[in-house]
Amino acid sequence: GAGVSQSPSNKVTEKGKDVELRCDPISGHTALYWYRQSLGQGLEFLIYFQGNSAPDKSGLPSDRFSAERTGGSVSTLTIQRTQQEDSAVYLCASSTPGQGGNNEQFFGPGTRLTVL
């Protein structure tokens, strides 16, 4: 079956512009995560969606970052007024929550964002 897909695969933008990154999770996966992977860094948790519950936004680095998930499926991560330090690979993962959330995350290919 289809895995997690993300678009675009690469995005180059100018400082100050807004960008939108999209994630299509695996069908039936109610849990969705966004991570940021910067060079030499691990995966930094950004936001978590689970079904219709309020998302956990505790990892968003600033108010320029926001995310939504429409209809419990597709998610969009928006970065406003991009800065050079936003350059990174943005990864999306989905999973079935399982008991206590003990289920494997399936990752998408990521979107490589470059802010000039």
Partner 1 sequence: AQSVSQHNHHVILSEAASLELGCNYSYGGTVNLFWYVQYPGQHLQLLLKYFSGDPLVKGIKGFEAEFIKSKFSFNLRKPSVQWSDTAEYFCAVKISGTYKYIFGTGTRLKVLA
Cα dist. 94→16, 29, 57 in Å? 30, 6, 16
Residue type, 77: L
Which residue in 45, 57, 64, 72 binds partner 1 (CB under 8 A)? 45
User: Quick one: which of 14, 17, 13, 24 has its CA closest to 76?
Assistant: 24
* Residues 22 and 75: beta-carbon distance below 8 Å: yes
Which residue in 23, 25, 34, 35 binds partner 1 (CB under 8 A)? 35
72 is a site residue for partner 1 (CB under 8 A): no
Between residues 82 and 90, which has the closer beta carbon with respect to partner 1?
90
40 is a site residue for partner 1 (CB under 8 A): yes
- Residues engaged in binding partner 1 (CB under 8 A): 3-4, 31, 33, 35, 40-45, 48, 50, 56, 91, 93, 97, 100-102, 104-105, 107-110
